[in-house]
Chains A and B, each alone.
Chain A
Amino acid sequence: MLAAAVAYPFVFRKPFPQDLAIKIFLFGGLASAWNVLGGFTGQVSLGNAIFFGVGAYATAVVQTHWGWTPWVGMVLGMGVACGVAFVIGYPCFRLKGHYFAMATLAIGEVFSTLFMNWQWVGGAVGVYIPLRDDTWKYFQFGTTKLPYYYVTLAFLVLALLISEGILRSRMGYYFRAIREDQDAARSLGVSARGYKLSAIGISAMITSLGGGLYAQYVLFIDPPSVFPMMLSIQVVLLAVLGGVGTLWGPVLGTVILIPLSEFTRIYIGGTGSGLDLIAYGFLIVLVSVVQPRGILGFFRKGGNA
């Protein structure tokens, strides 16, 4: 499968299929990152766009303000996102179910509004990353998509390796124990808050890295594009569609939904009519009603998907 992914851009040389693949890798990684927190530990975050936005802004701002390379910005963004995650997680993990979800949703809106009004990072205008020649140092390539393709592929692989590592480790068992019955897990000596903080930290760092890569790919960011509630929800949707809490579920959901939404956007939503989003909304409702276990639920019966 990895070999096929590596060979893909040599078969499909047009910009569209390559762009589609880049989006799949990016969203696959983001959905997997959400899955670490929402799937493994069962803490339904509706605010993962916060970490995406923090990563994107860190990557952009180190270039516009200090002329540093975006790679440093991405690492910095991951650190900041992890810190933000702890600050959010510490009080929020006392909340359960709907309450946790609503709190993260509200914090996401607060971040979006604050960045809209924070002039140092461009406010509502956003940040244009200065254009340069093709270099790895500034990770900009105007003439070819290949570097973006391989870097985002590596991002997805990294997210999957981390997920796999967690699932196989002792920590993974604790995560799932917290999801299934937090009180029981705690009574056996599992530090629920500590493990949930680890999960949100890991989830935030991966998501933030994705935000940084996105910023470099489109070279322009503003609060509506990197802090939208829609993004927070979309990563959850991808994971839910494929199968929550499984290693491949988020990727499966991404592989199905992202091409679908790209094609509908191009063929029926090209004029900005919103028809593609009608189809999208309808699909979400349909999946929820018909197959609440996600697509993986079609293949496995009685599994813990």
Chain B
Amino acid sequence: MFLPELAQSLLSGVLMGLIFALVAVGLTLIWGIMDIVNFAHGDFLMTGMYLSFWMYSLWGIDPLLSLPVSGIFLFFLGVVVYQLIIRRILGAPMLIQIFATFGLMILMRYVAFYFFTPNYRTIQHTFLSGSIDLGGIYLPVPQLAAAAGAFLTTGAVYVLIHRTRIGGALQATAEDREAAALMGIDTDRMFTLAWGIGAATAGIAGSLLSIFFYIFPEVGGIFGLIAFVAVTLGGFGNVAGAFVAGILIGVIEALAGHFYDPALKTVFVYALFLGVLFFRPQGLLGVK
């Protein structure tokens, strides 16, 4: 009885963890490249969820098809946010940077609240339904598809950062802003790109999540905080680290929720976060 339960929660944890990983990847990209904490990251995700929700309920477009729209829209939203707000506070004290993105978070959250009401919504009857039976372990197809999508997107970001010229320029900017500028890299364009990609990944994560998760204005809070934890665990700016940390958090949440108390599962995640901050500030995978 114990082993199947363990396997079930491990697998559920991994599926959810892959989504956490995708959300964290966008955040770690922005954080690593420009040392700015984006409190509104979870609300980019919320925007993606609502985009998919409305395209589904107004025009019957399946979330799997609205996903690219969500990614592109959020890319431009990220670019606009960078150009209008972030660019002006690059040299400002940390407190001001925290506040700018925090204000943005409240703004986005309550715009959603105002227009879409605080009601919880779900998308019913998508292309994907049912579950796969693996000898007593059930994997719901929507979660499985969302996790696969998250895995592919995270992989694409990884390849972009580590295997392309633009990725090299992004990494150089993260390493040393001035040196990169001296080498002829337009750092302003790199920052813009980082915000675009960061927001787009959150938007895609939102669309994937909308297949099986509740959609409500404050949903970003949950995922934003978990993304912070994953970024810290994985090491700031480390895409592969955020990926591993996201899965780890998903598993810890699932195990704590199943075997201890669902209401306290986030406490375990935060405890892990604080433990890593105190004892391994470079992150679980990071090097000093």
Contact = CB atoms under 8 A, between A and B. Distances in A.
Question: Do the two chains belong together in a single complex?
Answer: yes
Interface of A: 38, 44, 46, 91, 94-95, 97-99, 101-103, 106-107, 109-110, 113-114, 116-117, 233, 236-237, 240, 244, 273-275, 277-278, 280-289, 292
Interface in B253-270: 261, 263-264, 266-267, 270
Contact of A106 (B108, B270, B281): B270
A240 B97 CA distance: 11
28 contacts: A44-B94, A94-B278, A98-B37, A103-B274, A106-B225, A106-B229, A106-B274, A109-B266, A113-B266, A113-B267, A114-B264, A117-B264, A236-B99, A237-B102, A240-B95, A240-B96, A273-B113, A274-B113, A274-B217, A277-B110, A278-B114, A280-B110, A281-B108, A281-B109, A284-B100, A288-B89, A288-B97, A292-B92
B249 to A, nearest CB: 13
Given A97-B94, A273-B114, A275-B114, A288 B99 contact: yes
B89 A102 contact: no
Contacts of A98: 35, 37, 94
Given A113-B267, A117-B264, A288-B100, 6 more contacts: A44-B94, A103-B277, A106-B228, A114-B264, A278-B114, A281-B110
B271 interface: yes
B60 interface: no
B89 A109 contact: no
A245 B105 CA distance: 25
B288 interface: no
Query: Top 3 closest A-B pairs, CB basis?
Result: A284-B103, A281-B107, A281-B106
A102 B99 contact: no
**Secondary structure call for the A interface:** helix
B94 A292 contact: no
B98 interface: yes
A233 B93 CA distance: 16
A305 to B, nearest CB: 11
A117 B263 CA distance: 8
B85 interface: yes
Nearest to B87: A289
Contacts of A106: 225, 228-229, 270, 273-274
Contacts of B266: 109, 113
A289 B114 contact: no
A81 to B, nearest CB: 19
Contacts of A46: 98
Given A116-B263, A288-B89, A277 B106 contact: yes
Given A97-B94, A98-B37, A288-B89, A278 B103 contact: no
A288 B270 contact: no
Contacts, number: 123
B104 A99 contact: no
Contacts of B270: 106-107, 109-110
Nearest to B261: A117
Given A106-B270, A244-B95, A113 B107 contact: no
Contacts of A277: 106, 109-110, 113
Interface string B103-128: 11111111101100000000000000
A113 B264 contact: yes
Nearest to A100: B277
A97 to B, nearest CB: 6
Contacts of B104: 281, 285
Given A114-B267, A285-B85, A285-B100, A236 B277 contact: no
A269 B22 CA distance: 35
Nearest to B102: A233
A99 B264 CA distance: 23
A287 B261 CA distance: 42
Contact of A288 (B96, B232, B263): B96
Interface in B222-275: 225, 228-229, 232, 261, 263-264, 266-267, 270-271, 273-274
Most interface-central of A38, A103, A283, A286 (chain B CB within 10 A): A103
Nearest to A285: B103
Nearest to A39: B95
B88 interface: yes
A288 B94 contact: no
Contacts of B35: 98
B94 to A, nearest CB: 6
B256 to A, nearest CB: 12
Nearest to B271: A110
A278 B100 contact: no
A94 B278 CA distance: 8
A240 B110 CA distance: 22
Contacts of B271: 110
